[in-house]
Every structure is written in C-alpha cells, then in structure tokens.
Amino acid sequence: MKDQLETLIGRMVEGGILFPEAVNEFEKRYIRQVLDHVKGNQTRAARALGIHRNTLSRKIGIFKLEPRPHRRRRG
C-alpha cells in the first residue's frame, strides 16, 4: 500500500493538485467509505473515525455527502 500511496502522491504533485484540495478529497472519500461500512450510522462512523459526532455531522454538511441509509428488512 505504501508504494501505491507514493505513486498517487507523485501523480498529484505532477498534476498540480494543491495540498488543501488533496486533503479535502481524501477526507471526503474516507468519511464516505466509513459511513457506507457502518450503514450510515453517524455515531458508529464518528467512533470509527476517532472524531466527535458533531464534527462528523459538520463535515458531512461541508462535503455535501448525501446520506445513504441502509434500512433493515423486516421479515
């Protein structure tokens, strides 16, 4: 994974991607992945990310992450 990350960073540098843009994109995608993993549960996502639930909620708004709730089927 370290080599893949080095390659990605090299491409970003060559492409002129600025640091704040790279950090924001990483953060947005990381949060999206964790939210998907916990089926949209923001409390569990915040815990998994190591941030406060209010911070996660604010970042969801900033990044305009649409909620993807996964409802349980009743049987």
pLDDT digits (tens, 9 = 90+) for 46-72: 999 999 999 999 999 999 998 666 666
| pLDDT given at position 54 | 97
pTM for this structure?
Answer: 0.80
SS3 content of the chain, % helix, strand, coil (to 5): 65, 0, 35
CATH for 45: 1.10.10.60
pLDDT digits (tens, 9 = 90+) for 26-40: 999 999 999 999 999
Residue 43 binned pLDDT confidence (cut-offs 50, 70, 90): very high
Residue 68 lies in a domain: no
Rounded to whole angstroms, how far apart are CA atoms 25 and 41?
21
- Domain membership of residue 35 as a residue range: 16-62
Rounded to whole angstroms, how far apart are CA atoms 6 and 57?
31
